[in-house]
Amino acid sequence: MRKLVFVTSNAGKAHEARERLEPLGFEVEQRDLDILEVQADDLDVVATEKARAAATNLRGPFFLEDAGLFVAGLRGFPGVYSAPTFRTIGCEGLLRLMRGMRAGRNAEFRAVIAYHEPKTALRLFRGACAGTIATRARGDQGFGFDPIFVPDGGDGRTFGEMEAEAKNLVSHRGRALDAFAAFLATKGAQRERGKR
């Protein structure tokens, strides 16, 4: 198995990555690095800058991910600031901000994976999942704003009520990981052809 370092402090994210990448022959090693996060309004910029910072500490290939919940009725808030917003006000605080709001409850979770390999250009892989914000938190699965996000096209459950396998099939992170996995599979096939 080839080893890939996933720079994250979130065990839930690492679990999702292992579920997607280990069947392709990649061992995912979680590494927690203290990286200064640039403040920007664009996930691509945040992920790119974090990858550049991490590259000063890591030698081999690694990837990291940045994600956010973008709520239409809050003009995209919390967006790239989702993690600090969750730590500060949590699901209940976000629901209070939306109290009485009937329209504008549509939202989108977005994820960007940045993959760094020495001597090659940084690559970005994106995924998104549209849905709505529930009127109350439901479920204790997942992490972050999962208990208040209801994905479109599902059975009405929040991410917080879904088993990890079901969530991973439709989640923003799952879709970004699928794009990343497709790239790794293609790259592996090219490497095998080069050996012949």
CATH number at residue 50: 3.90.950.10
Q: What is the phi-psi region of residue 188: left when phi exceeds 0, alpha when psi lies from -120 to 50, beta otherwise?
A: alpha
- Per-residue pLDDT tens for 96-141? 999 988 888 999 999 999 999 988 889 999 999 999 999 999 999 9
Domain count, the chain: 1
Cα separation, 24 vs 6, in Å, equals 15
- Percentage of the chain beyond pLDDT 70 is 95
Say what the pTM is: 0.89
The domain of 106 spans 2-195
34 is catalytic: no
d(CA 160, CA 104): 21
Q: Which of 66, 140, 146, 152 is catalytic?
A: 66
Ramachandran angles phi, psi of 161, nearest 5°: -100, -5
Question: Of 111, 126, 128, 123, which is closest to residue 51 (Cα–Cα)?
Answer: 123
pLDDT tens by residue, 55-65: 998 988 999 99
